[in-house]
Amino acid sequence: MRNIEHFRAISRRYSDASILMHEAIARKAGLSGTDHKYLGLIMQRGELTAGELAKITGLTTGAVTGLIDRLEKKDLVRRQFDSTDRRKVIIVPNTENALRLLTPLFAGLQEETSKLIASFSEREIEVIERYFQAAIALMTETTERINAQ
């Protein structure tokens, strides 16, 4: 069995490669890496308020305003005012435009990832999924703890 330090080193390399790839994709799409990842978060969550986005991300309200300004300028999200409270801004993703921008940049990666996943047995995929689920929970707990300090 491989030792934990070897596993951590591979995990760091995976994380670094992911960041560098997403930065490259973001640049090609005319976005910053951070804006690209937060756009993905907005698309996953669907409509959410600016306050909710600030809470989820730990960004200040001013930083969220800047983020939304940049994404809105590229027609990737739009602001919608809450019908019952006009002070509340709802961020609505323009999924069609976002997919039109990003899908071509991810097409090759998704094809190759599908081939990679197909090379694993069902049991191996279950183990990988279990690791990712547990790692996501640990990272989420860590993020929440740090944001609460």
What's the distance, CA 135 to chain centroid?
15
Judged by phi (left if over 0) then psi (alpha if -120 to 50, else beta), residue 121 lies in beta
Place of tokens 């990737």: 76
Q: Which string of b and e fits 3-42 if b means at least 16 CB within 10 Å? A: eeeeeeeeeeeeeeeeeeebbebbeebebebbbbbbbeeb
pLDDT in tens, 73-87: 999 999 998 888 878
Residue 2 binned pLDDT confidence (cut-offs 50, 70, 90): low
Using CA atoms, how far apart are residues 14 and 132, in angstroms rounded to an integer? 13
State what percent of residues in the chain have pLDDT above 70: 99
Query: Residue 1's pLDDT is what?
Result: 55
Average pLDDT over residues 112-133: 96
pLDDT in tens, 27-82: 999 999 999 999 999 999 999 998 899 988 888 989 999 999 999 999 999 999 88
Average pLDDT over residues 2-12: 89
The domain locations on the chain are 4-102
pTM over 0.75: yes
- When the pLDDT of each residue in the chain is averaged and rounded to a whole number, the result is 92
Second CATH level (architecture) for the domain 4-102: Orthogonal Bundle (1.10)
